[in-house]
């Protein structure tokens, strides 16, 4: 009985420390954003939050960043996920090289990546199209390490070889096996990877700022130069939005769908 009580106490202590670590900065942001906005204000005020809709560059930047995130998620869904499944099923010898390739962006500093891709994006801006949406390509590369680890963990948790063999026996082709059988079983891993993609696109600053693209974080930094309260309010609102996305991601307990072998 003493051991179980001590174990519960230890767990709740860890949860409390982590909760304080996460919630104290959020409360500090809320406290700063609701401080008196002008000399005429007394006590708490939400004037900084009311100023958010008046920022002209903010909502176009949010729209562009969300479109970029959608493109990145499409690249993950239709390129990275099928490739990872194919490597796990048909080319297990290439798993280590493929993993090393996906983890390579972690070893390259962001400033080095910018120096390397700056001439390419200069050519794209002059000859094709100048928009922050074109950053979806480099963002897809940056997201590879996190997306691959999420997909790899999901694939290792499921016996996809047995599923593939059963589907092949019943006459399914490789495309049907990948998109209709394997991908639904690793849906949680795909959703987690997509969430990380959204967080990276909405939170990336270095590359977009050096390339002179007005993305969400760049606009927040520009707002902060003239009005810190509004910039902190926008940052807190974006964090709450990302946390909301995290909470609505289905888990294994809430994911009611299961693979039905009759539909193969």
pLDDT along the chain (264 residues), means of 10: 71 90 90 76 78 86 88 88 88 87 84 85 83 86 86 85 86 85 86 81 85 87 86 88 71 46 42
pLDDT at 260: 44
pLDDT for position 24: 92
Structurally, the chain folds into a number of domains equal to 1
Q: Does some domain include residue 96? A: yes
Residue at 49 is within a domain: no
Tell me if 172 is assigned to some domain: yes
pTM above 0.85, yes or no: no
**pLDDT (0 to 100) of residue 17:** 93
Whole domain around residue 196: which residue ranges?
57-263
pLDDT for the residue 1: 46
Domain-located, residue 178: yes
Residue with tokens 């008196």: 36
Asked whether residue 93 is assigned to any structural domain, the reply reads yes
* Structural domain includes residue 166: yes
Residue at 255 is within a domain? yes
CA-CA distance, 176 to 173, in Å (whole number)? 5
- The answer as to whether 83 is a domain residue is yes
**Where residue 198 sits, what CATH number does that domain have?**
1.10.3720.10
pLDDT at 91: 85
């Amino acid at each position: 009985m003493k051991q179980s009580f001590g174990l519960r106490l230890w767990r709740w202590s860890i949860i409390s420390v982590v909760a304080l670590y996460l919630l104290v900065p959020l409360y500090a942001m809320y406290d700063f954003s609701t401080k008196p906005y002008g000399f005429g204000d007394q006590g708490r005020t939400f004037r900084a939050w009311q100023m958010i809709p008046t920022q002209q560059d903010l909502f176009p930047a949010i729209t562009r960043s969300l479109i970029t995130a959608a493109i990145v998620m499409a690249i993950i869904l239709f390129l990275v996920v099928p490739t990872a499944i194919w490597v796990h099923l048909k080319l297990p010898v290439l798993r280590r090289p493929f993993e090393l390739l996906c983890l390579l962006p972690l070893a390259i500093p962001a400033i080095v990546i910018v120096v390397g891709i700056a001439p390419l994006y200069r050519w794209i801006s002059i000859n094709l199209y100048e928009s922050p949406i074109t950053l979806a390509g480099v963002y897809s590369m940056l997201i590879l390490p996190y997306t691959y680890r999420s997909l790899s963990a999901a694939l290792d948790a499921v016996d996809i070889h047995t599923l593939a063999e059963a589907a092949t026996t019943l006459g399914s082709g490789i495309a049907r096996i990948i998109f209709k059988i394997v991908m639904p079983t690793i849906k949680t891993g795909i959703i987690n990877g997509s969430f990380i993609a959204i967080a990276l696109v909405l939170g990336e600053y270095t590359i977009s700022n050096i390339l002179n693209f007005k993305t969400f974080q760049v606009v927040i930094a520009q707002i902060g130069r003239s009005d810190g309260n509004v910039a902190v309010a926008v940052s807190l609102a974006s964090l709450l939005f990302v946390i909301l996305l995290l909470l609505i991601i289905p888990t294994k307990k809430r994911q009611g769908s299961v693979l039905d072998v009759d539909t193969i």
